[in-house]
Structure 1
Amino acid sequence: MITILLALIIFLQFIEYIVIFDIILSWLSLVGLKFRPKFMADILNPIYSGVQKYIPTRFGAFDFTPIIIILLLAFIRGLIVMSVPEVQVTLNQLLNQ
């Protein structure tokens, strides 16, 4: 069970890194560098549209969808770590090696 939860935490962290990378790439598009790998679009578009379906995330020219997703991912990771204390102990052991 701990292994599955640790894998889920790592997966959520991976998605968070992809969202952050997508934010950086969107800033680069402001200077004319329009580049977004297909795998990122395949992963993030369903997540973005799922959030945008329930929460209005656009205010003028600003899209707050990535920020909301990062906060949701952090909340889910926190719930996993707080609900199963063994996960926190295992994470600490892995990080201190």
Structure 2
Amino acid sequence: MKYPPLENKLRTYRFEQLQTRYMLRYWLQGIIALLSVMALLVALFREQALPAAFLVLAAAGFGLVSLAAGYLGHKRALEALRRELPPGESYEPPREWF
């Protein structure tokens, strides 16, 4: 016999696991790309630009990477969880910040 509140709680727990996994993966890939771009910019414009400009660009890039990783991790986790569900069942995660 099914118990819907427990099933929903277990699905939410699984969703949070998947979301954390995908978010960290996207975040790490984004940080690596950001560091590569910043290293290239420093190498190209080291003599002509202010060091503060590089810090501002790095901070903006970090914020953008974090936001994108959160969104993409949420989206991909939801897709993965819906593939795991039996046919005919659906899942809507609790609304958080987007």
Tell me which interval the TM-score lies in, with the shorter structure as reference length: 0.3 to 0.5
Which has the greater radius of gyration? 2
Which has the bigger relative contact order, CA under 8 A and spacing at least 6? 2
TM-score by length of 1: 0.40
Point out the structure with the larger strand share.
1
